[in-house]
Amino acid sequence: MIKARHTLTSILRSAISLLLLLAASQAASAQGFLKWQADSIPLFRGVAVGFDLAGAAQRMLSDYGQYEVMARVNLHDQYFPTVEVGYGEAKHEDDAITGITYSTKAPYFRIGADVNLLKNKHTGNRVFAGLRYAFTSYKVDISSLPFKDPVWQWDTSYGVKDESCSQHWAELLFGIEAKVAGPLHLGWSARYRRRIAHDDGITGKTWYVPGYGTQESTRLGYTFNVIIDI
């Protein structure tokens, strides 16, 4: 399990470095960023749906992760209003340091838009930047192994059941997307997350937030999407 997590971390760092370099290069060379490209291409270019493989793989290889789908509208191959909906879950048992078991599962959503940074926007390949607003409402279960009361010397334990929590956050993202064949696209995105408001109930600080990740981790996230134009 530890080796798998180290592998995921290495892949994430490499992917983020590549994405940021590509995005910076394209943004520096693109003329007319955030300006409409004058041509005969119509405004509405269709819709697309996709599925994030990275979150699903993370759930299989670690104590937490998410299953996420997305839908977006293509406006002139330049602007992409997007909705992302997912289901995050965690089951962290008998922590090596604290002995605490933590579990939660809940849906979440994000809404925002991406902007294609490439000068030639109609090739099907994209380098993009975007913003998201995200929210989740979830419940947590926390329990600990029995331990000796330091005063009375009897076995005692600590637990929380169905504690209601919530969180609002924002994400700034950069990504690349490649057209593979026909309607099929593959795309990476790297994301910087920032909490706006949160309620951790009586727990003080929840270990995992669906759609956001673990509180101890960095604010960086990532996705690897399989996308189909429809």
Place 206 in a pLDDT band, splitting at 50, 70 and 90: confident
* Whole-number Cα distances in Å, 203 to 129, 145, 191: 35, 17, 27
Instruction: Please choose, from the candidates 157, 154, 136, 158, the residue with its C-alpha nearest in 3D space to the C-alpha of residue 210.
Output: 136
The answer on pLDDT for 227 being more than 80 is yes
Yes or no: say if 171 and 178 are a contact pair by the CB < 8 Å rule: no
Q: 45 is in which domain, residue-wise?
A: 2-32+41-229
Reading the block at residue 42, the tokens are 């119509």
User: Locate tokens 């090596």: which residue?
Assistant: 96
Report, as an integer, the average pLDDT of 34-40: 61
Place 162 in a pLDDT band, splitting at 50, 70 and 90: confident
> How far is residue 30's CA from residue 38's CA, in Å, rounded to a whole number?
15
Helix axes 2-29, 53-61, angle to 10 degrees: 160
Lowest mean pLDDT among 21-25, 34-38, 116-120, 162-166: 21-25
> For position 84, what pLDDT does the model report?
98
Q: Which residues of 204-215 are buried (b: 16+ CB within 10 A; e: fewer)?
A: eebbbbbbbbbe
Instruction: Please choose, from the candidates 102, 117, 8, the residue with its C-alpha nearest in 3D space to the C-alpha of residue 61.
Output: 8
Instruction: Please choose, from the candidates 135, 202, 126, 139, the residue with its C-alpha nearest in 3D space to the C-alpha of residue 168.
Output: 135
Reading the block at residue 88, the tokens are 């995050």
Mean residue pLDDT across the chain: 82
> For position 153, what pLDDT does the model report?
59
> How far is residue 10's CA from residue 16's CA, in Å, rounded to a whole number?
10
Q: How many domains does the chain have?
A: 1
Q: In DSSP terms, which residues pair with 114 in a beta bridge? A: 80, 130
Report, as an integer, the average pLDDT of 153-175: 83
Higher pLDDT, 6 or 114: 114
> For position 18, what pLDDT does the model report?
47
The answer on pLDDT for 147 being more than 60 is no
Backbone angles phi, psi at 10, to 5 degrees: -65, -40
Q: Summarize pLDDT for 74-123 with one digit per residue, the tens.
A: 999 999 999 999 999 999 886 656 667 889 999 999 999 999 999 889 99
> How far is residue 209's CA from residue 78's CA, in Å, rounded to a whole number?
32
Domain of 209: which CATH number? 2.40.160.20
> For position 1, what pLDDT does the model report?
47
Place 171 in a pLDDT band, splitting at 50, 70 and 90: very high
Lowest mean pLDDT among 70-74, 78-82, 120-124, 136-140: 120-124
